[in-house]
Amino acid sequence: MKKSLLYIWMLPLLIFSIAVVDVRAQQATIGVEPDSIFDPGLGPGSTFTVDIWIRGVADLAGVEFYLGYDTTVLTATLIEYGDIFGPTYFPLWSAIKDAEGYLQYSLAEQFGEPGFTGDGRVAIITFSVDSLGASTLNLHKTKLSDSSLPPMITFPKELDGLFSNEAFHDIAVTDVIAYPTEVDAGDIVTINVTITNQGDYNETFTVTVYADIIAYNYTWDAVIGLVDLWVDVGDEITVGTQTVTDLAPGANTTSTLTWNTTGVEAANYTISAQASTVPDEIDTADNLFVPPRLDRPRTWPSPPPYPPSPDYPSNAYSPTSVTVTAIPAHDIAITSVVPSPTEVDAGDIVTINVAITNQGDYNETFSVTVYYDDVSIDTEPGISLENGTSRTLTFTWNTADVAKGTYTIKAEASVVTGETDTDDNTYDAGTVKVREAAPAPNMLIFVAVAAVVVIIAAVIYIVKIRK
């Protein structure tokens, strides 16, 4: 009866008749391990095994997968249960279809047992070698089911394997070490990159080192958590490139590059390295070394160091990182100068508001002077300003003695000791137009009265003469 219930419960897994969800919500991968076997010693008649591992799964109660291979190179001879469910597992299907070039395997947890969460080995596959050549070990049609009733079907990310017993080309970056790991901006960082020729030919290639604040990108959902995760290096800082010439098979070499951090933003940088792909190279995944190899989840420890989230920086687990710290600086900046009004008659008052900010890391004392063209209007000495704060000063300009014209208004803060960024100590505000002063009203009246008196006097004089 228990076995019958199990078949009924697992039926949706086999016939795929219920709703499905995107596996990325489950954060699961299934892959062939080791992911690559390159061994010319595995000639015809030899045998080898690979494991099928599932990682990052939650509440797993059933697995089904197909594994394809090239039958001219390999023959699958045996499928063995791994250990993912322990002794309570129940085999559903195990078949080797060598004529069609694939095998199929399906198993489930006993009905009523709790689902499996974490990383586990699903199966062990034995192959015999038929000839020299290469074959992809292609995982496909993988389905997972959980312990709900009816079970929910999901699709994990499938990670293929690769077998080759031919002579091959293969370069791998195996380590990156940077020191010191904490520097002030402007210091030099030394980066040693270890490269191994894992192939059978002498190789010439280039090694490029990158420094990235964001080394791993991801999509995060507030409900389901991590949706997708991928490596994102090489688009921020390229530290440098070196050429390695004629590296012998099986040999290691170390490329040393230096990183001058002058002008570099203060942040934590993940240091990665990439070897260029050599001609006919197949295994290119290990050409890029990005700690902690989030691009290759099969190499993660258990539990894996994710998920990243808004509370956990994406490179928080990186062992090859350099923290660049900004050097404490002195920096005063004038951020705006506003005169009002911008058109006046000579003798009018112009108000000039000057905004200043201490953009440095020290409390500062300094002076500010305002000018029209190059003529000083006024200076305010002894201004004290704490680091990170701002204030506005107000100056008045009496234009009584200023000739008619258009004048540029600017303000200048004195340079404090140790200040290097002095471009923003001066700020041009634009212009103020000064017009010629208008005659005073009482003068106009005097002139008008005098003119009238003169006219009247002239009229009286003319009348007297004619008489």
- Rounded to the nearest integer, the mean pLDDT of the chain is 85
pLDDT reported for residue 454: 66
- Angle at the Cα of 216 from the Cα atoms of 211 and 218, rounded to 5 degrees: 150
Instruction: Name the DSSP letter for residue 156.
Output: P
Q: Is residue 443 classed as helix, strand or coil in its secondary structure?
A: helix
CA-based nearest residue to 28, from 248, 225, 223: 225
CA distance 291 to 320: 6
* CATH code where residue 276 lies: 2.60.40.10
Domain that holds residue 101: 2-164
> Angle at the Cα of 99 (from 93 to 101), degrees rounded to 5?
70
d(C-alpha 408, C-alpha 269), whole Å: 45
311 with 272, same domain: the answer is yes
For residues 243 and 312, state if they share a domain.
yes
Tokens representing residue 109 in the block: 């947890």
Task: Return the pLDDT at 463.
Answer: 65
The C-alpha atoms of residue 32 and residue 298 are separated, in whole angstroms, by 9
Could you tell me if 139 and 86 lie in one domain? yes
Q: Domain holding 49: CATH number?
A: 2.60.40.680
Q: Which of 232, 169, 178 is nearest to 196 (CA)?
A: 169
* 207-221 confidence digits (pLDDT tens): 999 999 888 777 777
List pLDDT tens digits, range 261-277. Answer: 998 999 999 999 999 99
457 and 367, same domain (yes or no): no
- Of 136, 169, 197, which is closest to residue 279 (Cα–Cα)? 169
Looking up tokens 């040693």 gives 192
For the segment 283-309, what is each residue's pLDDT rounded down to a tens digit?
A: 898 999 987 644 333 333 333 344 444
405: phi > 0 → left, psi -120 to 50 → alpha, else beta; which?
left
Residues 428 and 449 in one domain: no
Q: Do both 81 and 223 map to the same domain? A: no
Q: Which residues contact 28 (CB under 8 A, 6 or more apart)?
A: 54, 55, 56, 57, 58, 60, 144, 154, 156, 157
d(Cα 67, Cα 283) in Å, to the nearest integer? 19
Q: Are residues 292 and 312 in the same domain?
A: yes
DSSP string covering 399-431, please?
A: -TTPPSEEEEEEEEEPPPTT----GGGEEEEEE
For residues 147 and 207, state if they share a domain: no
Report the range out of 220-224, 291-295, 374-378 with the highest average pLDDT.
374-378
pLDDT of the residue at 88: 86
Separation of alpha carbons 140 and 56, rounded Å = 18
Nearest CA to 121 among 193, 53, 216, 199? 53
Sheet holding 171-179: strands in order across? 171-179, 188-197, 252-260
State yes or no: pLDDT of 21 exceeds 70: no
What's the N-to-C CA distance of the chain in angstroms? Answer: 153
Q: Do residues 364 and 466 share a domain? A: no
Question: In angstroms, rounded to a whole number, what is the distance separating the alpha carbons of residues 449 and 392?
Answer: 50
Residue 153 shares a structural domain with residue 263: no
Q: Does 145 share its domain with 40?
A: yes
For residues 390 and 450, state if they share a domain: no
pLDDT in tens, 435-456: 987 665 555 555 566 666 667 7
> pLDDT value at position 212?
93
Pairing outcome for strands 153-155 and 134-146: antiparallel
The pLDDT of residue 38 is 86
Tally the domains of the chain.
Answer: 4
Name, of 194-203, 221-230, 306-315, the range with top average pLDDT: 194-203
User: Band of the pLDDT at 15, cuts 50, 70, 90?
Assistant: very low
Contact 358, 331 (CB under 8 A): yes
Once rounded to an integer, what is the mean pLDDT over residues 175-185? 92
pTM above 0.85, yes or no: no
